[in-house]
Amino acid sequence: MATKAGAPGDSNAAKADKAALEGGPDDLRERIVPLSAPEPAEKQDLKIPHRGGYEHYRATRRQKETPEGKVPVYEWWERTEIAE
């Protein structure tokens, strides 16, 4: 689970509006992605469209420092194909 964002000015708080992706396909370009609201970051699984399917990511307890600030880390756990 990702840590919730803290009070304004809390430099140890993760940004709740974006996430860092780890794992998955090497050709997945975006590694910092927006989180959809209103569900808290730690309750969201991410489903990223990619090459005719979806890459699925789950929240971890880790955070990562990025050019966009500290964000929760999500790890890849499976791929599903889009049904035709």
Note the pLDDT tens digit of each residue in 25-65.
999 999 999 987 656 666 778 999 999 999 999 999 999 99
Amino acid, single-letter form, for residue 1: M
pLDDT at 20: 95
- Whether the pTM exceeds 0.75: the reply is no
Closest of 80, 76, 63, 64 to residue 1, by C-alpha: 63
73: which strand partners? 20
Residue 46: other Cβ atoms inside 10 A:
19
Note the pLDDT tens digit of each residue in 15-31.
568 999 999 999 999 99
Half-sphere exposure of 17 (CA within 13 A, CB side): 2
pLDDT at 83: 81
More confident residue, 12 or 57: 57
